[in-house]
Structure 1
């Protein structure tokens, strides 16, 4: 697999800004800031990660930056000045002049001039769009800028008459991935798939979970991923039944399963992949029985992904298979599957949904229901939507629970893009069938 970096031309970001501006109220202006740097402890900071929506519109990755976008499409960036002394310590900065040229803005100014320039940029605008709660500093500063505009009323200058939440427009744009985004997400998911395969080849009884986490991180970075998309889950034995287990410090024992939920981030886009496999490389009978059940549930969910079908159909398809399987294995009493679903009898063994939107955020933006329609039904799937498909089953010891299944937790998760018919699985590089997993692990 090539590790050559993908590049996104500035024209892609300019096109997104133009499409957003075309949806804004005539004469309005939008303000969107990037994320602040966050202290870790003392004078150390967490690795910097930009605000997703800001980066979606700009491609600009430095902190202390803000975009001003007018409804006529004019885009103004505020960013840090060039500072040769600070660059010795912290690395390269574009500065306003280079940023304007490199990223295709109409204007760019030093962030230190923001307070002085913003009243002029807001003057005589019909409305202002922001993302409330996303940036505390912007939320604090906006009222003062608006007051400065209102103070000019006697000179015939008007302040914006209304404020709107930019997420209403921007989240819907981000929900549908363009060709550039799909290419990055495929690359990210492929890197993650190879990382899962590497983990399978490395796993042996007696190793610690964190040793396998290190294998994942090595593969992520080796192929150009900037970060893990989230804290990796490497859960063995009884920890496979803990949905968000993060300690990753247990010794993995012969005869157990290990569940790995891990994905890399590439150029701001997340992957989110889960595989479950035997520590010793061979599924036991009960492990295999439940694994094949979850795999069948995922196949049913994937088959339900069609343009025009409801998002909820994906979960419902998986649930039908899982509940029938729970009855067949004795986890649930035999009876009517529909009634068991209606009464949620499956919850002790399957307590989460079958997926979520995926994109620049692991749980990406976009509404799951159509709030414009009566009853707020699940929204129909459209080409370009990206989502995860992740059914699971988690069996904790308990009265009446067949003992052969105790402490078996299984989740299988893939990243997909909705196409014109069906979907494309982005994370296919991660082995998934029992035969493929056991074959790969025999090569250790």
Structure 2
């Protein structure tokens, strides 16, 4: 078993790390400095806020900031643009924010002043969003902006020399290209607009550069993730206490999400999955509308977002309080696979090593249970239908390179799952091999039908091993049954 530090102990270390890291502004400034170092003096970087999303007609969803911009600035309001000029002598960081509007503030609340933006982000040069294009024009024309607007300045000499030499680049977070039918995102729209305007200036995608920085969490971020894990762990335990035969899935979801709000996690980190019985075999079940029945499994995949960071936790537990023998068979196999993955999650390995370790356990176990007839092929994929390791952080499926070796400071989950859906056999292509397979496994499928088990924990990796962010949530059969009995 991998060395795992309990979440409660990490919470103590996390608070110390937070104090050692200094104020939030210092951490944000260090992130921007690391990005500028990677960009180099010939580059200007621009990062935009996320657009509002329409919920219905003239009603928007609650606003969620673009994760890259939030990572670099800590500013959570719309109409925000960050410009970084690594080669400048003085004005290396500029933020553009929305101008105060009395009517909008009456409808939506306070707009940050420039002074408040500086206080939150540490960026000292702040203009209004409507000035962004004028600033950029001045920048590429070697002119000052602000109180000495229009004057020639040597602040941007390095950039001007790069433009003259054909080396200048605009770094924009293009990311995955949108579908042809989708509206262009701000970086694509801006690039199309200025391509012919700034001749001699090329473009580079900054999305993977920022993603690479986000992949290794600072001590400040680790402390926030630790708190997020503690809140989400308490929420899971509240959900376990609320689960009863005859109640509805949404009652468990309500018990979970109440804990988020009561502890300052103002939003779910992702839509909660609360599925009982056959719904436990649906990977992203979202209705939460079924009445729970005695003897069934309830699968709960949920976590709250605290200060912009989320963990990812799943538990699968018996609604009546005790597992059946068939449920125990599947649960033990999934738990064994998770622990194999955890042992492989060490510095220098990759997520592929974690996946392989768990997969080999699953194959052998499914063969023993009679759910596959050949552990060397892909039969296991009938019941084992997703990967088990993804990054966590500002996004629940956080950005980062999965080929990159695991390093201290990375945060990720290990989440094997088995979903015994009898209809999965009907979905196999018709062939002599598949007909023989279906006939051979039919008795086991009948025995384990509609059992869905996923066990997911969130971890921080250190030089000495794994730190669990969800260790306080009962995980073994014995721990869960003991907890359910004491409800």
TM-score normalised per structure 1: 0.89
Is residue 132 of structure 1 aligned with residue 174 of structure 2? yes
Q: CA deviation at 1:146?
A: 5.1
Structure 1 residues 413 and 8: CA distance shift in structure 2, 3 A: farther
Give, in whole Å, the separation in 1 of the partners of 2:325 and 2:300.
21
Q: CA deviation at 1:186?
A: 1.2
What secondary structure is seen at the aligned counterpart in 2 of 1:132? coil
In the alignment, which residue of structure 2 is the partner of 1:170? 210
What secondary structure is seen at the aligned counterpart in 2 of 1:364? coil
In the alignment, which residue of structure 2 is the partner of 1:382? 407
In the alignment, which residue of structure 1 is the partner of 2:294? 254
Is residue 213 of structure 1 aligned with residue 253 of structure 2? yes
CA offsets 1:343-389 (integer angstroms, 9 cap, x no match): 212011101111111111111111112xxxxxxxxx32111111110
Is residue 40 of structure 1 aligned with residue 58 of structure 2? no
| Alpha-carbon contact 1:119-1:148 (below 8 Å) kept | no
In the alignment, which residue of structure 2 is the partner of 1:374? none
| Alpha-carbon contact 1:190-1:428 (below 8 Å) kept | no
Give, in whole Å, the separation in 1 of the partners of 2:303 and 2:23.
21
* 1:68-87 mapped onto 2 (5 Å cutoff): 68-72=83-87, 74-87=92-105
What secondary structure is seen at the aligned counterpart in 2 of 1:346? helix
Work out which of the residue numbers 10, 29, 45 in structure 2 matches 1:14.
Answer: 29
Work out which of the residue numbers 137, 140, 150 in structure 2 matches 1:119.
Answer: 137
| Alpha-carbon contact 2:335-2:455 (below 8 Å) kept | yes
In the alignment, which residue of structure 2 is the partner of 1:376? none
| Alpha-carbon contact 1:31-1:69 (below 8 Å) kept | yes
| Alpha-carbon contact 2:169-2:203 (below 8 Å) kept | yes
| Alpha-carbon contact 2:248-2:291 (below 8 Å) kept | yes
Give, in whole Å, the separation in 1 of the partners of 2:238 and 2:223.
23
Higher RCO structure, 1 or 2 (CA under 8 Å, sep 6+)? 2
Give, in whole Å, the separation in 1 of the partners of 2:119 and 2:394.
25
With 350-359 and 112-121 compared, the bigger mean Cα shift is at 112-121
In the alignment, which residue of structure 2 is the partner of 1:438? 481
In the alignment, which residue of structure 2 is the partner of 1:368? 402
Is residue 353 of structure 1 aligned with residue 387 of structure 2? yes
In the alignment, which residue of structure 1 is the partner of 2:332? 292
Q: CA deviation at 1:83?
A: 2.9
Give, in whole Å, the separation in 2 of the partners of 1:165 and 1:141.
13
Structure 1 residues 98 and 186: CA distance shift in structure 2, 3 A: closer
Structure 1 residues 48 and 206: CA distance shift in structure 2, 3 A: same
* 1:22-101 mapped onto 2 (5 Å cutoff): 22-72=37-87, 74-101=92-119
Q: CA deviation at 1:299?
A: 0.8
In the alignment, which residue of structure 2 is the partner of 1:373? none
Give, in whole Å, the separation in 2 of the partners of 1:117 and 1:385.
37
With 99-108 and 230-239 compared, the bigger mean Cα shift is at 99-108
Q: CA deviation at 1:197?
A: 0.8
Give, in whole Å, the separation in 2 of the partners of 1:97 and 1:121.
23
Is residue 276 of structure 1 aligned with residue 316 of structure 2? yes
In the alignment, which residue of structure 2 is the partner of 1:110? 128
What secondary structure is seen at the aligned counterpart in 2 of 1:352? coil
Give, in whole Å, the separation in 1 of the partners of 2:263 and 2:351.
33
Give, in whole Å, the separation in 2 of the partners of 1:233 and 1:89.
33
Give, in whole Å, the separation in 2 of the partners of 1:118 and 1:41.
35
* Runs of at least 5 residues in structure 2 that lack an aligned partner in the other structure: 1-7, 142-159, 177-183, 426-437
In the alignment, which residue of structure 1 is the partner of 2:278? 238
Quote the RMSD (CA, aligned, Å). 2.1
| Alpha-carbon contact 1:394-1:408 (below 8 Å) kept | yes
Give, in whole Å, the separation in 1 of the partners of 2:480 and 2:353.
29
Give, in whole Å, the separation in 2 of the partners of 1:179 and 1:198.
29
| Alpha-carbon contact 2:24-2:220 (below 8 Å) kept | no
CA offsets 1:124-177 (integer angstroms, 9 cap, x no match): 352110012687234323444454444xxxxxxxx52x2110023111111111
Give, in whole Å, the separation in 2 of the partners of 1:325 and 1:133.
40
TM-score normalised per structure 2: 0.82
Give, in whole Å, the separation in 1 of the partners of 2:41 and 2:405.
30
